[in-house]
């Protein structure tokens, strides 16, 4: 293929992927693959300017307005910024070097001051405020013309409908609508419970929500927003720096990320890039890099723009968290509740800093919706601690039976009729998305997972009884139920692989200690489907003793806070199984005990209705311990600071949550004050 034909092919290919990404909200290739094609076309056009055409993707931001929404012409174009794909420190040095050259700075001149911030992975939005009132919201579109999505954007609660303070006559705010990881996981969990299709990833969730034609549907999807720049402004004496602009936006009541800094020169950029990379997986939202901007607005104006990008800004990426690889097999995993989860066994691929060999397909419906088959080339995504998942199939690369491509080589996925571990029948309850093995504790997979869960730190907390040891004990028929743990002897344990007599003695001591527990921990340890730590604690507080819980019908169970029909049915189903009740009685006979009390009404607890946020390291309390103490008194521990937060408990190295609390005027207390509050020596 000659260079002209290659350029034409690249233009067509990039146009196809732009349409899939921006218009259909269905990315067809990973970002890293798109960037590679884009850079190749840029290089060809740089060497052969005569091949650059008016429709080249290098001259445009990309994407088109959807016809279902009114078009909005941006008063100030929403241009994209250059991407620096060199993920090493040299990428930051290269940008700083270009800025210094464009400013004609001498080698011994002072470092350039930059504003460094995050590159959010969502959907770019322009908010237009007139006289302090939100009158219009629009997507980026092709940079010149976008889609009006005002009704949907109004459903994002973080976006103020009216500005605070001394605002300009006209203020256009650019920012990112996004879906946080916790909101994404919670939304998908609800979708799967209803047997509905989950979202592919948070970015698609944000884009799809904004583009819902029915604002009521958009409101059901939890979106957030961060402001990061300006469009048109009138009647405003603008700050002199970009960081000053963001500070001003925050005073107007707009959400601005606290993960930003003003740094000096390339070394400051490098340090910021490294610092964010260290905490990237801990963020509650997805980013795919950081952004550097010359802080002085006067210098920004002096530097100006090249064809489609400002010279004064760059996006510095991190290693891709999406990659393409091949599906070598599809197998099933059996969870502790019998859930059958199809898993794609992959040709090893490096994604997000680790080598990935497996990716979840969630359930049969999801695997068939994505139409993942053996032999397919797929896009795999990994973000933070989230289990890697298959995002989509690259259909152009699907293996076919013949050269004409009429029939795929492999059939669509279908769930097994019998459990791959124990051979019991697999059933899919009506209205549920998940199929389950009916074997219960007869199934070794469920047995292993049930015992591992029982011994886990937040359950019975049996130190040393981990996955590998449980595998051996179940495989050797030493453990069949959790009650068997309390019948273990030194010889049986010491004879296991890699277990010495001292290790066996330590394990038995940990088992003995675990006999003294709490009712809440015991209920959680039983592994009842849909019963997590908080629900177990509510059940313990409500009923006061185990016998009352065992005797409760579904109506009585639904009187417990946050227990609805589904959870009540799960509890009743578990307790109606004779073998489960038998295990409970065996555990009590083995000496597992807790202090029982009278049923406790939540509205009588001293911290009922109070919301706490923990940040930093407390000197004498672990985070789980502090959370448990607060919840035992009726309080709630949230992961982020909002206007509904009553207290922020701050320890050493408290970060953005402390700053947010101070900004909102929320009470900030230390560990000693928390202990006083829990001891009722102070009152809110």
pLDDT at 588: 93
Which residue in 119, 370, 657, 660 is the catalytic one?
Answer: 119
The domain boundary residue, chosen from 589, 612, 636: 589
Going by the DSSP 8-state scheme, the letter that residue 413 receives in this structure is P
Is 657 a catalytic site residue? Answer: no
265: exposed, middle or buried (Cβ count in 10 Å: 0-12, 13-18, 19+): middle
Please answer whether residues 652 and 664 qualify as being in contact, where contact means their C-beta atoms are separated by less than 8 angstroms: no
Q: Are residues 86 and 147 in the same domain?
A: yes
| Domain boundary pick from 317, 348, 379 | 317
- 385 domain-assigned: yes
Task: Give the model's pLDDT for residue 384.
Answer: 54
Q: Within a 10 A sphere around the Cβ of 90, how many other Cβ atoms?
A: 13
Residue 507 lies in a domain: yes
pTM over 0.75: no
pLDDT, mean over the chain: 86
**Most confident range, picked from 99-103, 190-194, 485-489:** 99-103
Q: Give the chain's end-to-end CA distance (angstroms, integer).
A: 74
- pLDDT 10s digits, 20-64: 765 455 677 877 788 888 888 888 988 888 888 766 777 644 445
Q: Are residues 428 and 447 in the same domain?
A: no
What pLDDT sits at residue 627?
A: 82
Helix, strand, or coil (residue 470): helix
One domain, residues 337 and 451: no
The pLDDT tens digits of the residues spanning 617-642 come to: 888 877 777 887 887 777 888 877 88
Among 18-32, 231-245, 474-488, the range with the most confident prediction by mean pLDDT is: 231-245
Domain count, the chain: 6
Q: Same domain, yes or no, for 309 and 170?
A: yes
CATH number at residue 528: 1.10.150.20
Q: Which of 45-54, 184-193, 305-314 has the highest mean pLDDT?
A: 305-314
Q: Are residues 201 and 129 in the same domain?
A: yes
CATH number at residue 7: 1.10.287.610
Classify the C-alpha dihedral 418-422-427-433 as positive or negative.
Answer: negative
Q: Is residue 66 part of a domain?
A: no
Can you give 188-246 as a three-state secondary structure string?
HHHHHHCCCCCCCCHHHHHHHHHCCCCHHHHHCCCCEEEEEEEEEEECCCCCCEHHHHH
Residue with tokens 């929404």: 69
Query: Is the CB of residue 206 less than 8 Å from the CB of residue 223?
Result: yes
Pair type for strands 133-139 and 123-130 = antiparallel
Helix (H, G, I), strand (E, B), or coil: what is residue 129?
strand
In the DSSP assignment, the letter for residue 485 is G
Please indicate, yes or no, whether residues 453 and 583 belong to a single structural domain of this protein.
Answer: no
pLDDT at residue 46, rounded to an integer: 84
My answer on whether 214 and 344 are in the same domain is: no
Establish if 574 belongs to a structural domain: yes
458-482: pLDDT as tens digits:
899 999 998 889 999 988 889 988 9
**SS3 sequence, 536-581?**
HHHHHHHHCCHHHHHHCCHHHHCCCCCCCHHHHHHHHHHHCCHHHH
User: Binning pLDDT at 50, 70 and 90, where does residue 87 land?
Assistant: confident
Mark which of 490, 514, 538 sits at the end of a domain: 514
How confident is residue 585, by pLDDT bands cut at 50, 70 and 90?
Answer: very high
3-state helix, strand, coil in the chain (%, to 5): 40, 20, 40
Please tell me the number of Cα atoms within 13 Å of 78 on its side-chain side: 30
Q: Output the domain CATH number for residue 88.
A: 3.30.470.30
Dihedral over alpha carbons 192, 195, 196, 199 (to 10 degrees)? 20
Contact indicator for 531, 520 with CB cutoff of 8 Å: no
In CATH, what number is assigned to the domain containing residue 332?
Answer: 2.40.50.140
Q: Which of 318, 317, 312, 319 is nearest to 96 (CA)?
A: 312
Instruction: For residues 234 and 114, state if they share a domain.
Output: yes
Query: Is residue 603 scored above 70 in pLDDT?
Result: no
434 plus 455 within the same structural domain: no
- Residue 272: pLDDT band (50, 70, 90) is very high
Domain membership flag for residue 509? yes
The residue segments making up the domain with residue 478 are 441-514
At 684 the pLDDT is 42
The residue with greater pLDDT, 307 or 459, is: 459
What separation in angstroms does the CA of 319 have from each of 323, 394, 651? 10, 21, 32
SS3 (DSSP) at 495: coil
pLDDT (0 to 100) of residue 386: 61
Per-residue confidence (pLDDT) for residue 601, from 0 to 100: 57
The verdict on 306 and 332 lying in the same domain is no
pLDDT at 263 over 90: yes
Query: How many residues are given for the chain?
Result: 684
* Domain match, 656 and 581 both: no
Is residue 117 in a domain? yes
pLDDT of res. 63? 46
Higher pLDDT, 277 or 30: 277
- The per-residue pLDDT for range 341-378, each reduced to its tens digit, is 999 999 998 886 678 899 989 888 889 989 999 999 99
- pLDDT at residue 683 is higher than 50: no
Q: Residue 21: what pLDDT?
A: 66
Asked whether residue 476 falls in the same domain as residue 507, the answer is yes
Distance between CA atoms of residues 527 and 533, nearest Å? 10
Contact between residue 525 and residue 453 where contact means Cβ atoms under 8 Å apart: yes
pLDDT in tens, 378-427: 999 876 556 788 988 999 899 998 777 678 889 999 999 999 998 888 98
In a domain, 68, yes or no: no
Is 72 inside a domain boundary? no
Spatial distance between the Cα atoms of 94 and 334, rounded to a whole number of angstroms: 50
Give residue-wise pLDDT tens across range 525-567: 998 988 988 889 889 988 989 999 999 999 999 988 778 888 8
Q: Is pLDDT of 681 > 50?
A: no
- Count other C-beta atoms under 10 Å from residue 105's C-beta: 13
């Amino acid at each position: 293929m000659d260079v002209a034909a290659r350029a034409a092919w690249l233009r067509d290919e990039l146009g196809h992927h732009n349409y899939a990404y921006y218009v259909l909200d269905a990315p067809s290739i990973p970002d890293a693959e798109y960037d590679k094609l884009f850079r190749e076309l840029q290089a060809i056009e740089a060497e052969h300017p005569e091949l650059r055409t008016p429709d080249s993707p290098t001259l445009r931001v990309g994407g088109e307005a959807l016809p279902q929404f009114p078009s909005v012409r941006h008063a100030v174009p929403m241009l994209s910024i250059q991407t620096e794909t060199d993920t090493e420190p040299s990428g930051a040095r290269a940008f700083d070097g270009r800025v210094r050259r464009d400013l004609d700075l001498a080698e011994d001149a002072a470092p350039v001051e930059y504003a460094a911030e995050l590159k959010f992975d969502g959907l770019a939005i322009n908010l237009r405020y007139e006289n302090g009132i939100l009158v219009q919201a629009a997507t980026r579109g092709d940079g010149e013309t976008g889609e009006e999505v005002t009704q949907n954007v109004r459903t994002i609660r973080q976006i103020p409908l009216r500005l605070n303070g001394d605002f300009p006559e006209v203020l256009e705010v650019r920012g990112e609508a996004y879906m946080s990881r916790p909101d994404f996981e919670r939304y998908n969990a609800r979708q799967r419970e209803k047997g509905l299709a989950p979202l592919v990833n948070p970015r698609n969730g944000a884009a799809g929500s904004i583009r819902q034609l029915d604002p009521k549907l958009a409101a059901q999807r939890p979106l957030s927003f961060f402001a990061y720049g300006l469009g048109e402004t009138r009647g405003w004496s603008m700050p002199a720096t970009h960081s000053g602009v963001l500070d001003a936006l925050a005073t107007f009541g707009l959400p601005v990320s606290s993960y930003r800094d003003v740094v000096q020169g390339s070394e400051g950029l490098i340090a910021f890039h490294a610092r964010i990379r260290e905490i990237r997986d801990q963020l509650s939202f997805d980013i795919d890099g950081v952004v550097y901007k010359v802080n002085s607005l006067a210098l920004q104006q002096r530097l100006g723009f090249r064809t489609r990008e400002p010279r004064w800004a760059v996006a510095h990426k991190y290693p891709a968290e999406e990659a393409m690889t091949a599906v070598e097999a599809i197998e099933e995993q059996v969870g502790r509740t019998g859930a059958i989860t199809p898993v794609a066994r992959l040709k090893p691929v490096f994604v997000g800093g680790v080598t990935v060999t497996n990716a979840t397909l969630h359930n049969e419906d999801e695997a068939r919706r994505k139409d993942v088959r053996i032999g397919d080339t797929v896009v795999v995504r990994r973000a933070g601690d989230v289990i890697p998942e298959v995002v989509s199939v690259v259909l152009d690369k699907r293996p076919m039976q013949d050269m004409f491509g009429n029939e795929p080589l492999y059939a669509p996925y279908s769930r097994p009729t019998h459990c791959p571990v124990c051979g019991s029948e697999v059933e899919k309850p009506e209205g549920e998305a998940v199929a389950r093995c009916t074997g219960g504790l007869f199934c070794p997979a469920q047995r292993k997972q049930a015992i591992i869960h029982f011994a886990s730190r937040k359950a019975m907390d049996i130190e040393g009884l981990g996955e590998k040891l449980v595998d051996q004990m179940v495989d050797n028929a030493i453990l069949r139920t959790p009650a068997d743990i309390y019948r273990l002897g030194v010889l049986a344990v010491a004879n296991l692989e890699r277990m010495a007599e001292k290790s066996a003695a330590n394990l038995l001591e940990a088992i003995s200690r675990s006999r003294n527990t709490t009712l809440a921990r015991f209920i959680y340890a039983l592994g009842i489907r849909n019963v997590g730590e908080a629900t177990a604690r509510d059940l313990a507080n409500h009923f006061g003793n185990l016998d009352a819980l065992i005797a409760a019908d579904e109506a009585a169970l639904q009187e417990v806070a946050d227990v609805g029909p589904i959870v009540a049915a799960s509890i009743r189903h578990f307790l109606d199984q004779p073998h489960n009740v038998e295990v409970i009685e065996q555990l009590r006979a083995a000496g597992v005990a807790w202090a029982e009390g009278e049923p406790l009404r939540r509205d009588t607890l001293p911290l009922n209705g109070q919301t706490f946020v923990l940040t930093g390291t407390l000197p004498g309390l672990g985070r789980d311990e502090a959370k448990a103490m607060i919840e035992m008194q009726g309080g709630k521990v949230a992961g982020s600071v909002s206007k509904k937060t009553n207290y922020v408990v701050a320890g050493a190295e408290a970060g953005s949550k402390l700053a947010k609390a101070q900004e909102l005027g929320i009470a900030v207390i230390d560990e000693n004050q928390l202990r006083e509050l829990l001891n009722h020596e102070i009152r809110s």
